[in-house]
């Protein structure tokens, strides 16, 4: 309970409250371990709280403190995994350990734990998303693509659509990226991010009419939103270019 409250407080920007909740969570979990030192999930919970403390330290710019908390979290996850508990649910700890390493930017090592998690949960969208994310950050875009596709097939989320499209863009496959965003648009027709990215990509491949269509639709949805100024500038550029070509 304290862990979830602390996580929510961190996401809302209430860092002092988040810290207090996580310290309470650690205190309660340590008491549970004293009573039963052979429960892997207690060590997993302790690791999760230390991972949250690391994220709080990251937000505050305390990098050395964040590193120490991640070391503490890793120690707890290792204790849990080294118990050899045969229950399938224990494999979820591999995902938590992998995410800890993702937060630290250690993508190669994170992949090891994420692959172990996917052995037990081969259709899990989070496992595939974070595996794809690691490959993406390592510049391994071809390897990232099937994982983002699998994540989308089970749980279509905008972050998966965006990373999938960006993978194709990094490979120079703009037409494939456009197809991804068109699929995303059917899932989220009101997304200004998708409209913006489609406009940019269509402009890049020389399809100015399609670019204008998506930019104009974006302005209808969000006339004063975060993309509006940039989109109006791009519309002017496209229209000026089209006029010069028509002379």
Average pLDDT, the chain: 93
Closest C-alpha among 171, 176, 149, 175 to residue 161: 149
Residue 246, pLDDT above cutoff 60: no
Confidence of residue 176 (pLDDT cuts 50, 70, 90): very high
Residue 73, pLDDT above cutoff 70: yes
Who has greater pLDDT, 222 or 243? 222
Tens of pLDDT, residues 1-21? 889 999 999 999 999 999 999
How far lies 230's CA from each of 196, 199, 225, 235, in Å? 10, 11, 10, 9
Tens of pLDDT, residues 164-173? 999 999 999 9
Residues 6 or more apart whose Cβ sits within 8 Å of residue 188: 158, 194
pLDDT value at position 70? 94
Tens of pLDDT, residues 44-71? 999 999 999 999 999 999 999 999 999 9
pLDDT value at position 164? 98
CA distance 247 to 240: 11
Tens of pLDDT, residues 123-144? 999 999 999 999 999 999 999 9
Segment 153-181 mean pLDDT = 96
pLDDT value at position 243? 63
Confidence of residue 158 (pLDDT cuts 50, 70, 90): very high
pLDDT value at position 186? 93
Segment 93-109 mean pLDDT = 95
pLDDT value at position 237? 87
Give me 41's structure tokens: 């999930």
pTM comes to 0.89
CA distance 74 to 92: 14
pLDDT value at position 166? 97
Q: How many CA atoms lie within 13 A of 172 on its CB side?
A: 0
pLDDT value at position 88? 87
pLDDT value at position 68? 96
């Amino acid at each position: 309970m304290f862990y979830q409250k602390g996580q929510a407080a961190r996401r809302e920007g209430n860092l002092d409250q988040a810290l207090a909740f996580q310290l309470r969570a650690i205190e309660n979990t340590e008491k549970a371990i004293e009573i039963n030192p052979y429960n892997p999930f207690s060590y997993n919970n302790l690791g999760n709280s230390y991972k949250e403390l690391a994220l709080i330290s990251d937000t505050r710019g305390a990098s050395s403190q964040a590193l120490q908390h991640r070391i503490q979290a890793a120690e707890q996850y290792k204790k849990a995994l080294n118990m050899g508990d045969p229950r399938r649910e224990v494999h979820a700890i591999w995902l938590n350990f992998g995410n800890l390493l993702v937060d630290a930017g250690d993508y190669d090592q994170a992949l090891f734990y994420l692959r172990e998690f996917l052995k037990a949960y081969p259709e899990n969208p989070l496992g595939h998303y974070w595996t794809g994310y690691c490959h993406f950050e390592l510049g391994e875009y071809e390897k990232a693509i099937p994982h983002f596709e699998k994540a989308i097939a089970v749980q279509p989320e905008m972050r998966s659509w965006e990373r999938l499209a960006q993978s194709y863009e990094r490979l120079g496959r703009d037409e494939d990226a456009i197809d991804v965003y068109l699929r995303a648009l059917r899932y989220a027709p009101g997304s200004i991010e998708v409209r913006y990215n489609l406009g940019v990509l269509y402009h890049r491949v020389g399809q100015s009419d399609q670019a204008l269509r998506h930019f104009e639709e974006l302005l209808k949805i969000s006339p004063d939103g975060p993309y509006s100024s940039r989109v109006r500038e791009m519309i002017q550029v496209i229209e000026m270019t089209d006029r010069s070509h028509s002379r």
